[in-house]
Amino acid sequence: MPPRKLVQGTLELLILRTLRSGALHGHGIAKHIERTSDEVLLVEHGSLYPALRRLEQQEFITSKWEQTDRGRDMRMYRLTPKGRRQLVAEESRWAELVRAMARVLDAV
C-alpha cells in the first residue's frame, strides 16, 4: 500500500505513543514510526518538529540536549505525567473512532 499522509492530530498521538517506552530524539521518533508501521506511515521528518513543539507547549513532553552513547549531541524528548494521561485519553478516543468507522463501513 502506498504511504499515506498523516493528519495532524494523529501525528501527535503517534509521537506520544512512541515516547511511552522511553526518551528519543526527533530522528529516532521518525524512524520508529516508520519501522513499526511497516513503512505504511511515512512522515516527512520535518513535520515532526512543529508537532513536537506543540506537544511541548501543551506540557505533554519535555526535552533536553543530551549526549547519546555514540557521542552525539541530540535533543531528547520525554513524556510527562500529564503527557501519559493525554496518551491514554487519545488512545481511547482513537479506538472509539475506529470502531465507529467500522460500524459505518460495515453497515449494509
Partner 1 sequence: MTERHDDDLAREIQAHLELEAEEQVASGLDAADARLAARRAFGSVAWTQEQVRAVGRWRPLDDLRQDARFAARTLVRNPGFACVAMLTLALGIGANTAVFSLVQTVLLRPLPFADPDRLVVLWEDFTGRGGPREVQASPANFLDWREQNRTFEGMAAIDGLLQTFNLTGAGEPERLSGARVTGNLFGVLGLQPVAGRTLVPDDDRAAAEPTAVISEGLWRRRFGADPALIGRTIRLNDILYTVVGVVPGHFQFPLRGTDVWVPAAFGPEQRSQRTAFVLNIVGRLKSGVTTEQAQADMDGVARRIAEQHPGTNARLGVLVVPLHAQYASPIRATLNILLAVVGVVLLVACVNVAHLLLARSSERRRELALRGALGAGRGRVFRQLLTESLLLASVGAVLGAAFSTLAFQSLARLIPRAVSRRHDAGVAPWRVGVHGTRRGGDERCVRRRSVARGFSAQPPRHVEGVGHQESHPP
Calpha distance 70→8 (Å, rounded):
32
One of 23, 37, 41, 54 touching partner 1 (CB under 8 A): 54
Cell match 513535520: residue? 47
Query: For residues 94 and 1, what is the distance between their CA atoms, to the nearest angstrom?
Result: 22
Instruction: Kindly write out the interface string for residues 69-108 of this chain, putting x where it contacts partner 1 by CB under 8 A and - elsewhere.
Output: ---xxxx---------------------------------
Q: Name residues whose C-beta falls within 8 Å of residue 55's C-beta, 6 or more positions apart in sequence.
A: 12, 15, 16, 61, 83
- In the list 50, 82, 92, 93, the residue contacting partner 1 (rule: CB under 8 A) is 50
Give min distance, CB of 96 to partner 1, in A.
27
Q: Which of 44, 71, 103, 104 binds partner 1 (CB under 8 A)?
A: 44
Residues in the chain: 108
DSSP summary character for residue 58: T
Q: Which residues bind partner 1 (CB under 8 A)?
A: 25-27, 31, 44-47, 49-50, 53-54, 56-57, 59, 62-63, 72-75
